Each structure stands twice: as C-alpha cells, then as structure tokens.
Structure 1
Amino acid sequence: MLLRLPGVYRPQHDTQLLAGVLAAERLGPHSRVLDLCAGTGALSMAAAAAGAGRVTAVDVSRRAAISIRLNALARGHRIRVIHGDLTEHVRQERFDLVVSNPPYVPASVDTVPDRGPARAWDAGKNGRALLDRICCQAPDLLVDGGVLLLAQSGLSGVEKTLTMLEEQNMTVDVAATAEIPFGPVLVERREMLERRGLIEVGQTLEEIVVIRAVS
C-alpha cells in the first residue's frame, strides 16, 4: 500500500490500467522515465521496480511530492522528485518514456483549482486543461523512438488527444481501455454532464483510455 498525505490523489482504476501498459514497455538500467502529475508516485514506483535506471516524478502539489519521497524511501527506490508545474523544470532534458495520469474530469468552470482535493481531478469545462498542455509539451521531451503513455477519460476528448499527438509527428494508438462505474465526483456531476451532452441520460459507466504515442 502506498503512503498518501491528505489531499493527494489515491491510485484508482486509471492508475492500474496505465501501470499495466507501462509494464509491457522494455525498461532497463539506461532507461530514463518521467512521471508527470505523479500523485503518490505509483507509476514512478512501477517504472523503478521494472528496472528503469533513472526515474523523475513531477507534481504541482507539495503534499504529493512528500508522498512520493516517502514511498520511494519505503521501497528502496531512487526517484528524483520535483515539485513544479508539468515540464517547467525538465525542458532541457530528454526521456525514453513519459507517463502521465493527469486531472481530466470536466468541471463546471474553466478555472483550474490551485489548491484542495479537486486539483487532483478538475481540468476545466472540457477536461483538457492538462491534457492539451501534455500533448504539446511531452513530445519535445522524448528521444527518437521514445514513448508517451497518457491516461484520460472518454469524456475529455480522446480523438482530440490522438489528433494533437499525430500533429506532433507521433505514431499513436489506443493501448488499453476499460469501463468503470462512476466515482463520487462523476455521480455528483451527472446532471451537469447530461445537460452538456457529455454523457447519456442515466449513464453510469465511464470509459478510461490509455494512449500510447511513439516519437
């Protein structure tokens, strides 16, 4: 079980789905992995356990950064932890693999919270406040043949993600999907999502998608 300070995103179905795809990647002592929006560091731990030689975890939350350090220490993994906004501190570096499970839940407003638990899931009205930035920034961090693994909801524009990455000259496909019951946040927002046509009336399942893009 991972240690988690209050307010840090608890690993759930999307993390598990992404970790399964990550496990299929070939990682070795020379592999450089970047985990964006790392939360507890679950994916960073998975990459280190799979043999990656250098793992960097980034999160905008100080509590998340502390949680990652604690989890790495408890498991004996050497993970570089950066408290910061996405790629701002690693723009001059290159990685073999970038993995991210960012906030992607459509909200009622476009303003993204800068504190509180909702920062772990709210991503603007279309759910793409972080997804769009990752699609634009992550390809520049990859070596030739490097891989981006990105999780998102079917409610937040899978086709747009595919198109944006293809426009960055990446080879893109959907590596995994799963349908999961609505969690508390989507249950609370069901009426709003129905009004906006993002879900069907009475819908209770959300599709989670993992996209794999190769530079």
Structure 2
Amino acid sequence: MGLEDRRDAEPEVYQPAEDSHLLADAACDGLADADENDRVLEVGTGSGYVAGRIDAETPARVVAADLNPHAVRQAREEGLETVRADLVSPFADAAFDAVVFNPPYLPTDPDNEWDDWMERALSGGEDGRAVIDPFLERVPRVLAPDGVVYLLVSSLTGVDDVVEEAGEHGFSAVAVADESFPFETLTVLELLR
C-alpha cells in the first residue's frame, strides 16, 4: 500500500507534511557521517516517514517510537523497528547517539481540544510546548554522551523559549534548517551537550 493509500487507511496517524520533510532532510544531513554502530531514535514517529528516511539514507540503526498504537502499526508495516512509547520512557540510559522529534507544537485552547490520536499528534497545549518541555527534560537520559538531538519547533511555540528550556537541561542549540510559511516559520534545532 503506497503513502497516498495510507492517508485514507490510517486517519488517526500523522502523515508526512512540510514539517516532516524539513526534519528528515536536516536529520539525514546531520547524520551523513553516521555508521552502522550509531543508534537513532525517532520519538513520535507517526507514519514512520522521518525514521524511514534516516534508515534508508544512513547506515545507522533506527528505532521508531510513538504512543499512538495506529502509528506503531503503520511504522511497523513500513519495515521499521518500532516501539510503543511515551517519549523516551522505555529506553535504556545512553542508548542512542541521536534522537529526532517532530513534536505536537500547535498552541491549542484547552476549550477547543478533542480527545483523539490526531489531536495528540498536533496539540502542544496552550503555549505549544506541553510535550516539548517534558521531552527536553527526559531526553538527556537516553542520549549517549556525545549524542545529538534534532528537534523541530515552530515560531508559534517560541523558538527562543525552546532554546532557553533546552539550555536548562544542558543543551546548546543551533538552528540547522528553517522554512517559512504564511502563518509560521519551522526550525530544526540541533541540540548538543
């Protein structure tokens, strides 16, 4: 089943969009020198598009993770090693050389939220950082000492606020890619310790 068919088959799974392509391009560029011993985790894999690109374009071993059981199933069907996980909770300390994440980042009024898997894939809470902040707090545990994080953020969430939060968890941040749209600018941050 091709990607176009999947959009109809998996309506509860976030499918590739501009943010997915930007993150995949930046992560693949950043991991161009990876080798077969490097381990990469994609948190919130959705359709598995980003993890699939990293798997196809680098020699690194890729693990895809998502809380959404529909996303886990779709990523597995794409041939990816996939784990159902809330952020990084089931993974061992220092297990990954790189972690990639396209988090739910759209600021959402709590009165307008609905409880389904697509909402969880999109809604970043009132400030857009309801998932980003806990991720930044938890990801250092699973990251190898010289590891890197590729995190997609939106101008709607406040890139400077995300950089500041990352700094509070021991990361320095540099923007490695961005793309502007009429209502937001998407930025991929490379986070290093």
TM-score when scaled to structure 1?
A: 0.80
Q: Deviations over 1:110-144 (max 9, x none)?
A: 89765242121012111111100111111221112
**Contact 1:34-1:56 at 8 Å conserved across structures:** yes
RMSD: 1.9
Q: 1:206 aligns with which of 179, 184, 189?
A: 184
* Equivalent in the alignment of 2:12: 7
* CA distance in structure 1 between the aligned counterparts of 2:169 and 2:38, rounded to whole angstroms: 23
Q: 2:26 aligns with which of 1, 5, 21?
A: 21
Give 4+ residue runs of structure 1 displaced > 6 Å after superposition: none
Shift of residue 7, structure 1, vs aligned partner: 1.4
Cα distance, 1:36–1:116 mapped onto 2, change above 3 Å:
closer
* CA distance in structure 2 between the aligned counterparts of 1:99 and 1:149, rounded to whole angstroms: 5
* Equivalent in the alignment of 2:100: 99
Shift of residue 35, structure 1, vs aligned partner: 0.3
Structure 2 alignment gaps of length 5 or more: none
Shift of residue 50, structure 1, vs aligned partner: 2.1
Matches within 5 A, 1:92-171: 92-109=93-110, 114-171=115-172
* Equivalent in the alignment of 1:75: none
Cα distance, 1:54–1:174 mapped onto 2, change above 3 Å:
same
Letter in 2 for 1:48: D
Shift of residue 91, structure 1, vs aligned partner: 4.2
Q: Report the structure number with the largest CA radius of gyration.
A: 1
Letter in 2 for 1:21: A
**Contact 2:103-2:152 at 8 Å conserved across structures:** yes
Shift of residue 46, structure 1, vs aligned partner: 1.2
Aligned-pair identity in percent equals 30
* CA distance in structure 1 between the aligned counterparts of 2:179 and 2:173, rounded to whole angstroms: 18
* CA distance in structure 2 between the aligned counterparts of 1:211 and 1:102, rounded to whole angstroms: 12
Q: Verify: 1:30 aligned to 2:37, yes or no.
A: yes
* CA distance in structure 2 between the aligned counterparts of 1:173 and 1:126, rounded to whole angstroms: 22
Comparing 85-94 with 4-13, greater Cα deviation is found at: 85-94
Structure 1 alignment gaps of length 5 or more: 73-78, 182-204
* CA distance in structure 2 between the aligned counterparts of 1:113 and 1:149, rounded to whole angstroms: 28
Aligned to 2:89, what secondary structure does the other structure show?
A: coil
Aligned to 2:93, what secondary structure does the other structure show?
A: coil
Comparing 114-123 with 137-146, greater Cα deviation is found at: 114-123
* Equivalent in the alignment of 1:54: 61
Cα distance, 1:128–1:211 mapped onto 2, change above 3 Å:
same
* Equivalent in the alignment of 1:187: none
Cα distance, 1:111–1:124 mapped onto 2, change above 3 Å:
farther
Letter in 2 for 1:14: D
Shift of residue 156, structure 1, vs aligned partner: 0.6
Query: Across the two proteins, how many residue pairs are aligned to each other?
Result: 186
Comparing 106-115 with 161-170, greater Cα deviation is found at: 106-115
Q: Deviations over 1:47-85 (max 9, x none)?
A: 11123442111111110001101112xxxxxx3211121
**Contact 2:93-2:141 at 8 Å conserved across structures:** no
